[in-house]
Each structure stands twice: as C-alpha cells, then as structure tokens.
Structure 1
Amino acid sequence: MAPSAESEEPVPAHPDVIVIGAGGSGAALAARLSEDPDRTVLVLESGPVPQQLSAFPAELLDARLVPGARPGHPAVQRYPAHLTPDRPYTVVRGRFLGGSTTVNGGYFVRARREDFDRWSAAGGTAWSYEGALPFLRALETDLDLGADELHGSEGPVRIRRTDLRHPAADAFRAAALQLGFPSEPDKNAQQPPGFGPVPSNAVDGVRLNTGISYLLPVLDRPNLTVRGGSTVQRIVIEHGRATGVIVERAERDGHPRIDGRDGRDGHREILRCGEVVLCAGALRSPQLLHLSGIGPRDELARLGIPVVRDAPAVGVSFGDHPQIALEWTPRPPLPHPEPPADSWLGGALHLPSSDGTHPDGDLEILQSLAPLRALTDGTPNLPDEPLAPLAFLVSVQSPVLGGRMRTCSPDPAVPPRLDYNYLRTPEDRRRMREAVRTTAALLATPAFKTLSDGLVDPGPEVLHDDRSLDTWIHTHLGTSHHTCATIPMGPAVDPYGKVHGIDALRVADTSILPTPPLRGPAATAVLIAEIIAQAMG
C-alpha cells in the first residue's frame, strides 16, 4: 500500500466534540458539525487518513475492484464469525479514511419506504420517509437525474447509476423482462421492486468514499482536526457524563507510540471533550460501549468491567443479510468480459419473496461484470482467462435480527463473538432457495442462453431438490456485510443517537437502526449522520 501522506496536526486541548471513526457516518457527521465555526471537532480514525486524493492507494480508488474482497487487505479490520454454528467465516470492515465505503462495492441505494415505516415506529417522524427525504436529497448530487422532488444536485455524495451496455448486463435486463419482472429505472425513487441500474458513489471509475466526499474538501477548516492511527480504547464517563476518550496512537509502521508527556499513560492518551459521538460501526461501537461500562449488567460483570449503565439492549443482537455467489459460464459471442471502465457492477433485480411479507422486495440479485477471482486477486480483469465465469451475488435481505454478539474480553484488541444464525428457520432457507432458483431461471431464458452455458454450480439435480439445495447453500454461504441494529433506537438510544442514561454521549452509525434495511446500508449510514448532525444544532 502506498504511503498515506498523513500530517501530524496538533490536537485541540478540549474539543467540543470527539467523533470516533471517519467512516460512512463519521466523515459525514464531522463535516456537517464543523460547518459551525464556533464548534471544534476532533475525529479519531484507527486507520490511515490521507490528506489529499492523490495519496490514496490506487486500488482503493479503482471502482472496478472491491478491496474488501481481497484476503488480508491492509485497509480492513477482520472479525472472526460463524454464519451458522458450523460455518466459520471472516467478516471485514474498512479501517481507513472513509471506513467501509473505502473497501465496499460502491453500492449506494436508499432504504425502502417499508424500512422507514419500521424505523419511525421507534424513532418518530424524523425517521419516516417524508422526514428523511430532505436529508437524502441534501446529501447527494445525482449526476443522472439532477435536482427534482426526489433527488439533490448540491450534496457531497456524487451518484451515478451503473452502465448497462455490457452484453451481460443487457442480457440480464432482457431476461428479467422475459420472466415478467418490472423495470425499476431509479432504485432511489421508491418505485416497485424490479430490474434496474445500481446507484453508486463510483464516478468515472473512481470510488468516492465518504472521506473523500465529505472530509477532504474541508480539512483546512481551523475548527476541524482529523487524526489517523488513533484507536479509541474506552470512553471516559464521570458522574453519568462522557468527558473524553482513552486513545492509543500508532506510528506509521503500525507500532504503538510511547511517549511520557503529561496526560499520557504509556502509549495511551486521555483526550477530554464536551461530547463524544460513536461512529465506529455496528461491530466496534457496541464493543466500545461495553468496554466503557455500558451494556448488560451480567455480561459486563462476567468480564470484570465496572458497570456504569445497565443497558440490556446494547451489543447483544444484530441484523445482516446472507449471500451466495452464483457463477455462470460465458461463451462466445460474448466479447472479452472485462468490466466496464467505471464499475464492476452491472444491474440489480429486487423482488419480493413469494410469501409476500415484504412487498418492497426482500430478495436481491446483484450482477458482477468482473470474475470473482479478479475481485479477490485485486485485478480488474483476467487476461489469461478470456471467458472466466462471471457471477451474481444473491442475497436475502429480510429486516430481521437473528444475529447475536458478545464481548469476550475487557481487552479492546479481542474481537467480539459474532454468531449470525443464518438459515436458522424453514422460512430463511425457503427464501434463499427461491433467490437461487430465480437466478437459475434468469440464466435459462432465451435472452441469457445466447451468452451463457448456465450455472457453474449447482447442477439441476441439486437445484430441484430442496434438501440437496439447502446443503449446497450452506457450504457456499457468505454474507452481505450489512450489519445493523447493535445499539437500537428505542431500547438503547433515542431517535438522535443519545445513549440512555449517559449525558454527552451519542451513537451515529448503523448500530442505531432498529432493523437492517431491505437494501444495502451505505446510503443509510450517511443519512444517519445527516439527521443527527442537524439534531446536534
């Protein structure tokens, strides 16, 4: 990885706000809060913080790649997990300016009206679709549609929809229509679920993460300091109020920096502030609350952590979405299947599962125009394999909280235990079978048969037998990396992220959603920051 070109800015002695994390939510929140010149804001990011676009490693900008798919990539934090009791897995989160928006696929799709209805039941009108729409418009510059009643043209996040001219994308569109699925040309407009291009924060081939979009343009603000290599260990809480954080600093080579200056305890530093906002993500934020004494009393006592606030709903459950990669074999006359110049993504089909529980669509079939091995190897094409298999990423995006998490140690370096509990119920398994079989049906249409020899796997004998298909799915199971709801609105925080029972402490990331959205949460992470920034005045 290229040098980060970070600067060593002096840290304000007592900032008004410390934001923990410069990811999808933290970058946006800090930029909005620092618009007030009378408010000092300090952002603490555990990963590198480049000071200009040219200092970003090329693979983190290349929208034809998915850095988080590369095993061992230095810009991710890895968490061991179990997707099912006997399916171990490693989930990843971004550890770099921009957080997971730096290493994900660039998918930037709004939540559905059905999601907002659930969230507003817990958080009030601010979380209704009508309440959120002004913020959704304000955060974006829609390069395709411009400003109208649904879209914005002056926001930090530039949005462009994927190009469907690639032969495989065109075949996907035609196949969806042949099977009777509707067209959904604007997936950010609450149209009925169907086939359409994917709104993305990748523009002209560059992945514009939230750090680039929100923070890089305003780093010269005198009231804003963004410091990388700073891992928060614990929040300092005194007399029921958050008064600062304990942070570990790292040198550029990743080793702790130890100096004996006043206010430091070895390589750890206490930073005081007026208010703390956790934007460390749906895995790290609840862990930090636990380490700070906020969580289920019995669990904290088991770890020997003094209980500051008995909070039974903090860091115990979560929601995410199971995913399967289904590869298919191209054949001539498909030209060399390089991805388009701007993105690895093709089209997406959203549809409701057959039980009709979620009419806004709880199944997603997302097209990759790059071979999976190209994504995991970090190369935009495979010149030695001119007809390498392409893939659909097939997921069940139900808004359920089946996951369980548990902090395992008072040591911040020890990751929490994560049990996703995927495919636990007959309905879970039925929905995933339905998504896989719909993908196979798309490939069997006349539109796709001109380009494809069909699925690499599973074969027909597995595909048409429920028990065999369940077994195959289990052995190929992955996750969408859409973790939400670990510090939910209502039982854990108020509608604007204030932690119940603790003054001057908020959470502003996807932890606070009562349920995960029916579509990927990247855009919602930014929305959360926008809503809470306005609430903070």
Structure 2
Amino acid sequence: MVGAGAAGSALAGRLVERGADVLLLEAGTAERPPEVRDVGSLAATLPDHPWNWAYPVLLRRGTPAVVPRGRGLGGSTAINGAVWTRAVPADADGWGVPGWTYEELLPYFVRAERDLDEQGPRHGADGPVPVRRPAGQLRHATVDRFLAAAERLGYPAEPDKNAGGPPGAGPVPSNSLDGVRVDAATAYLGPRVRVRTGAVVTRVRLQGSRATGVELAGGEIVEAGQVVLAAGAVATPQILLRSGIGPAGPHELPVGQGFSDHPAVYLPMRTDDPPAHPHAPIAQAALHLDTGADPAGDVWVLQFVRPFAAGGDLHLMCALGLPHGRGELTLHPADPAGPPRIEYRYLQEESDRRRMRHAVRTAAELLRAGLGTRTAPDGDVLGVDHRLDGWIAAHLTTAVHMCGTAAIGRVVDAELRVYGIEGLRVADTSVLPTVPRRGTAATAVAIGEKAADLVAGA
C-alpha cells in the first residue's frame, strides 16, 4: 500500500485486523511535532513546514498559490482543521456508482466513528475516530450568535451535520479530543501494521498489464501481489502518470482530468469576545444553504473562531459546495519527476461566480444580523457584482478538498480496480467522481473502510 493518509491508514489498519500481509509505504515522517497534535494550530499548513508538501498551483488565470497537503502519517488529517462532516445523500447518490449510494456508504461512516454526542443506528459508537461538537468551555461565544443570526435570517437549524438531512445552520463536528487532533493514522495504525516512512514511491512497476510492485526514489523495487495507491488526490495521479497510466501513456486513461474542489474566500470579522479556549477546534459553526438550484446545499459559510495570526481578525470561510468548474493535474513537461502542474480553473463559469457572490453576501448578512463586525470588503464593493468579483479574485483560495483525479467510472471501476491493469487499485479521494458538498476527511476514511471489504473479498 502507498500512502498513510485518511483512506490509506483506515484501509491498512482494517486489513491487518483481518490477518492480511500489508506493507504501508509513506513518503513523509512519523514524528509528530506539537503543532501537528494541537487541534488549535494550523502551523503545519504553512509552506515552509516540514509536514507540508506545499504544492504550487494555479487557482485561476493569474492567481498562483501554494496548497498544503499533509506530509506524514495521517496525511492531511494531521494538519487540517479537524472538520468531520460526511458527504450528504445527494453527493453519493449523484455519483451513480453501484455500491456507492449514501445508504451503502453509511455503514462505513458509522464503522469509522465514535460519536460522543449523537447516538442511534446512523452514528457510530465503537469506531476509532472520536467525533465531538463544540460544547462547554470549548464552544466559542460566537457560535451561539452565528446560529442566532442564521435563524434571524430565516435559515433552518441543522443541529447534526452528519444526519444526512436538509442543509442549515449548526455546530461543526470535529475529530478531536481534549485539544488533540485525532488524525487517521493515530486512529487506525496500531503496532501490528508494518509502516515504512520516508519511502517515496515514484511509479508502479508493470509487467505487461499487471502491477508487480512499486519503485522508490533511488531505484529500489518493492514487489507485491497487489498494489493499492492511497497517496491522496495529488500524489496518486502523479504516480499513475509516471507509470504510463494516463491520457498520453501506453495505458490510456483520463488520470488527472476533470477534478473538482471547493473554491473559497475568507471574509474577515471582529468581535469583542475573549480568545478561544486553547483546546477548542478552529472551525465551530457552519451554514450550508441552497442558492436556489440545489436543495442539498451548494454553498457554505464556515466560522473560524481563532485568528490565522496572533491578534488578527477572525474569519468566515465562504465556499462553493457544488462547483461546476473542473481542473486538470498533469506532470510538469520540464520536470516530470518534480511536483505536478495543477490548474484548478476556478470561477470560469458564471454560475460559480454568481454563487460565490451569494456566499460572501450571506456571510455579510450574518455579521449584520448580530454576529460581529465586517472589516472587508467595503459596502461599495459588496453591493456591485463586478467589484465583488474582483475582490473575490484577489482573495481566492481553496478548501483543499481535491477529488476526482482518478475517478470511479473513468479510471477505476466500482471496486476501485484500475481499468486494464491487474493487481492495481486506488483508494483515496482521487476516486470520487465529484467533490462532496462538505469536507472530505470523513468520506476519505469511509473510502478506506469500504476498500478494506473490497480488497479482502478480492
């Protein structure tokens, strides 16, 4: 197996529980500095942090950026905001893949989690990932004002973001406990799992149309009866392309083509509230809403209760949950061995620009309804479409939820087997046909859980 991120850790852990012989290769490290464990810190997402792959990307024409991806055990679940929201029924049912409907995925969401707040058959009680909503001293003062403002504006309440119900305003579930970010590796990789860190896989070894192992940087060959790529939505397609599996390779498949992610901007805000508790998760409340074309909710506003820099503003993250735009990942023609070329092509469609304006204006309405004070953009920008488009373009970022670089139905079949290649599977968010409307961490782990059943039953 390649990659000890969200899906890879879950898959390896479950297979070893069943007695499988698994070697898990991870390019990053096993050492966890304090900021990786601390749920209140996003320090590891900074470009120069050793736990961050820091991929250079192009969000849209003229908008370069550096995108964080986790570089160590747990992958991006070790450095992200610890938001634990599932895909919604419209996501999975909309993929149209046998075996991947919401009701068919639900047991894997349940199996993964130990929900400490919600009980019942649609929530897990015994899984390895603890799930909590902000409460008590860990619940920031702005959360109740956020929810009250949403109610004042007529948005429905959604007290359980993982219930699979209609969109609304509610607290955000987190995979953290007592201030510690519980990443997928911490949850799943026990001492019985053989893990080799610092193992950078460059390509899959193929004998004709069969995978026989992988090649590491430096030329070492690791042979295997079956290879599973779970290196994430960037590294997995990169490995496939280097292996000759892709649009221009001898094994022609649309690897890296048509991926989706959530374009986002941060609306700054100020309040007079005391700082968040040191053990409090960063993202604590969210409004998911329908802009008029998607009853499942096509945009969201996510409240961050801690500033990105000491003494700075708080933020509302405004994002498209169901973007229409699609991106492309390719090997860099000047350096195929280096970082890939990633073009998100955000906001090229007017429908995406319109809905992003809607998200920003909704966040501004929440502030006016009693949440706090907006510090940008100015009113003459907020009220004029072309000016707001310019402000959004200048502040554009991504939620880092890339999906679809090796999608089911295009690159792999419903059992995650790469078309035309024996002994090779993909098991990470690369396989999702489109990005789920909400965060991806819980769904990535569910992919690993489901893949364990698929691989064990092969």
**TM-score when normalising by structure 2:** 0.96
The structural deviation recorded for 1:412 is 5.6
Cα distance between partner residues in 2 of 1:171 and 1:490? 44
- The answer to whether 1:364 aligns with 2:288 is no
- The answer to whether 1:34 aligns with 2:16 is yes
For residues 376-400 of structure 1, what are the alpha-carbon distances to aligned partners after superposition, in whole Å with 9 as ceiling and x for unaligned? xxxxxx3xx4xx4211111111154
Provide the residue aligned with 1:182 in structure 2: 156
Cα distance between partner residues in 1 of 2:201 and 2:140? 45
Provide the residue aligned with 2:291 in structure 1: 353
The structural deviation recorded for 1:337 is 2.4
Cα distance between partner residues in 2 of 1:360 and 1:428? 16
The SS at the match of 1:348 is strand
Provide the residue aligned with 2:106 in structure 1: 133
Cα distance between partner residues in 1 of 2:275 and 2:415? 46
- Do the aligned residues in 2 keep the contact of 1:400 with 1:516 (CA within 8 Å)? no
Provide the residue aligned with 1:64 in structure 2: 40
Q: Based on CA coordinates, which of the two structures has the bigger radius of gyration?
A: 1
- CA 412–233 in structure 1, closer or farther in 2 if over 3 Å, else same: farther
Provide the residue aligned with 1:251 in structure 2: none
The counterpart of 2:83, out of the listed 107, 113, 116, is: 107
State the 4+ residue runs in structure 1 displaced beyond 3 angstroms.
Answer: 409-413
- The gaps in structure 2 that reach 5 residues or longer are none
- The answer to whether 1:74 aligns with 2:74 is no
Cα distance between partner residues in 2 of 1:165 and 1:321? 26
Cα distance between partner residues in 2 of 1:174 and 1:514? 36
- Do the aligned residues in 2 keep the contact of 1:173 with 1:195 (CA within 8 Å)? yes
- The answer to whether 1:403 aligns with 2:362 is no
Provide the residue aligned with 2:442 in structure 1: 523
The structural deviation recorded for 1:413 is 3.8
One-letter identity of the residue aligned with 2:307:
P
- The gaps in structure 1 that reach 5 residues or longer are 1-18, 51-55, 249-266, 301-306, 374-381
The counterpart of 1:293, out of the listed 239, 244, 249, is: 244
Cα distance between partner residues in 2 of 1:42 and 1:400? 38
Cα distance between partner residues in 2 of 1:417 and 1:84? 13
- CA 344–85 in structure 1, closer or farther in 2 if over 3 Å, else same: same
Cα distance between partner residues in 2 of 1:140 and 1:323? 28
Provide the residue aligned with 1:268 in structure 2: 219
Provide the residue aligned with 1:244 in structure 2: 213
Provide the residue aligned with 1:88 in structure 2: 64
One-letter identity of the residue aligned with 1:205:
G
For residues 3-26 of structure 1, what are the alpha-carbon distances to aligned partners after superposition, in whole Å with 9 as ceiling and x for unaligned? xxxxxxxxxxxxxxxx10000111
- The answer to whether 1:284 aligns with 2:235 is yes
Cα distance between partner residues in 1 of 2:122 and 2:18? 27
One-letter identity of the residue aligned with 1:60:
V
- The answer to whether 1:47 aligns with 2:20 is no
For residues 218-275 of structure 1, what are the alpha-carbon distances to aligned partners after superposition, in whole Å with 9 as ceiling and x for unaligned? 22x2xx3101000001110002110011113xxxxxxxxxxxxxxxxxx331111100
The counterpart of 2:415, out of the listed 496, 516, 526, is: 496
Provide the residue aligned with 1:418 in structure 2: 342
- CA 276–401 in structure 1, closer or farther in 2 if over 3 Å, else same: farther
The counterpart of 2:198, out of the listed 209, 214, 229, is: 229
Task: Report the more deviating stretch, 68-77 or 338-347.
Answer: 338-347
The structural deviation recorded for 1:339 is 4.3
Provide the residue aligned with 2:264 in structure 1: 323
- Do the aligned residues in 2 keep the contact of 1:496 with 1:531 (CA within 8 Å)? no
- The answer to whether 1:471 aligns with 2:390 is yes
- Do the aligned residues in 1 keep the contact of 2:199 with 2:216 (CA within 8 Å)? yes
The structural deviation recorded for 1:68 is 4.3
- Do the aligned residues in 1 keep the contact of 2:180 with 2:279 (CA within 8 Å)? no
Cα distance between partner residues in 1 of 2:420 and 2:127? 35
For residues 394-424 of structure 1, what are the alpha-carbon distances to aligned partners after superposition, in whole Å with 9 as ceiling and x for unaligned? 1111154511222124956411111111111
Cα distance between partner residues in 1 of 2:441 and 2:26? 18
The counterpart of 1:509, out of the listed 428, 432, 455, is: 428
The structural deviation recorded for 1:168 is 1.3
Provide the residue aligned with 2:124 in structure 1: 152
The structural deviation recorded for 1:72 is 1.3
One-letter identity of the residue aligned with 1:350:
H
Provide the residue aligned with 1:14 in structure 2: none
One-letter identity of the residue aligned with 1:370:
R
Cα distance between partner residues in 1 of 2:246 and 2:324? 21
Identity of aligned residues (%): 44
**TM-score when normalising by structure 1:** 0.82
For residues 10-43 of structure 1, what are the alpha-carbon distances to aligned partners after superposition, in whole Å with 9 as ceiling and x for unaligned? xxxxxxxxx1000011111100111122x21000
- Do the aligned residues in 1 keep the contact of 2:284 with 2:303 (CA within 8 Å)? yes
Cα distance between partner residues in 2 of 1:465 and 1:277? 50
Task: Report the more deviating stretch, 153-162 or 407-416.
Answer: 407-416
Provide the residue aligned with 2:145 in structure 1: 171
- Do the aligned residues in 1 keep the contact of 2:324 with 2:349 (CA within 8 Å)? no
Task: Report the more deviating stretch, 196-205 or 336-345.
Answer: 336-345
One-letter identity of the residue aligned with 2:168:
G
The SS at the match of 1:519 is coil
Cα distance between partner residues in 2 of 1:482 and 1:68? 17
The SS at the match of 2:213 is strand
- The answer to whether 1:191 aligns with 2:165 is yes
- Do the aligned residues in 2 keep the contact of 1:282 with 1:486 (CA within 8 Å)? yes
The SS at the match of 1:497 is coil
- Do the aligned residues in 2 keep the contact of 1:399 with 1:517 (CA within 8 Å)? no
Cα distance between partner residues in 2 of 1:30 and 1:67? 28
For residues 86-124 of structure 1, what are the alpha-carbon distances to aligned partners after superposition, in whole Å with 9 as ceiling and x for unaligned? 1111112101100000010001100011001112x1x20
Q: CA RMSD in A?
A: 1.5
The SS at the match of 1:20 is coil
The structural deviation recorded for 1:425 is 1.4
Cα distance between partner residues in 2 of 1:389 and 1:353? 27
One-letter identity of the residue aligned with 2:42:
V
The SS at the match of 1:74 is coil
- Do the aligned residues in 2 keep the contact of 1:339 with 1:369 (CA within 8 Å)? no
One-letter identity of the residue aligned with 1:291:
R
For residues 55-112 of structure 1, what are the alpha-carbon distances to aligned partners after superposition, in whole Å with 9 as ceiling and x for unaligned? x211001111123432311101011111111111111210110000001000110001
Cα distance between partner residues in 2 of 1:340 and 1:518? 29
- The answer to whether 1:205 aligns with 2:182 is no
The counterpart of 1:343, out of the listed 258, 267, 281, is: 281
